């Protein structure tokens, strides 16, 4: 089935859990300096997950089964002044 991840179309298996896609994304940004800094100071990447316009808590990702056409956004905070 097809979903969008950060605006890009992607195929996932039917019944795929949001957690699997999130884990893969976290691996892809693990070397990002902002992520490294956040993990060092807070113990977490502080990524924010938005599914079809609704913010999803990280601990709820394992419960959510993705559906065809879902729009998943993953962003991390940017601090500055």
> Rounded distance, CA 18 to CA 73, Å?
11
> Rounded distance, CA 17 to CA 21, Å?
7
CATH architecture for segment(s) 2-75: Roll (3.10)
Closest CA to 47 of 73, 12, 11, 71: 73
Say whether pLDDT at 81 is over 60.
no
> Rounded distance, CA 75 to CA 33, Å?
14
Say whether pLDDT at 57 is over 70.
yes
pTM to 2 decimal places? 0.81
Q: Number of helices (H) and strands (E), helices first, in the chain?
A: 2, 5
The model's pLDDT over 3-47, given as tens digits with 9 standing for 90+, comes to 999 999 999 999 999 999 988 888 888 888 878 887 888 888 788
Map out the domains of the chain as residue ranges: 2-75
The model's pLDDT over 46-56, given as tens digits with 9 standing for 90+, comes to 888 999 999 99
């Amino acid at each position: 089935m097809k979903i969008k991840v950060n605006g890009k179309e992607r195929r996932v298996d039917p019944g795929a859990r949001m957690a699997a896609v999130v884990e893969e994304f976290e691996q892809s940004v693990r070397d990002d300096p902002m992520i490294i800094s956040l993990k060092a100071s807070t113990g977490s990447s502080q990524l924010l997950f938005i599914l079809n316009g609704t913010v999803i808590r990280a601990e709820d990702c394992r419960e959510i089964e993705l559906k065809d056409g879902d729009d998943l956004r993953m962003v991390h905070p940017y601090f500055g002044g």
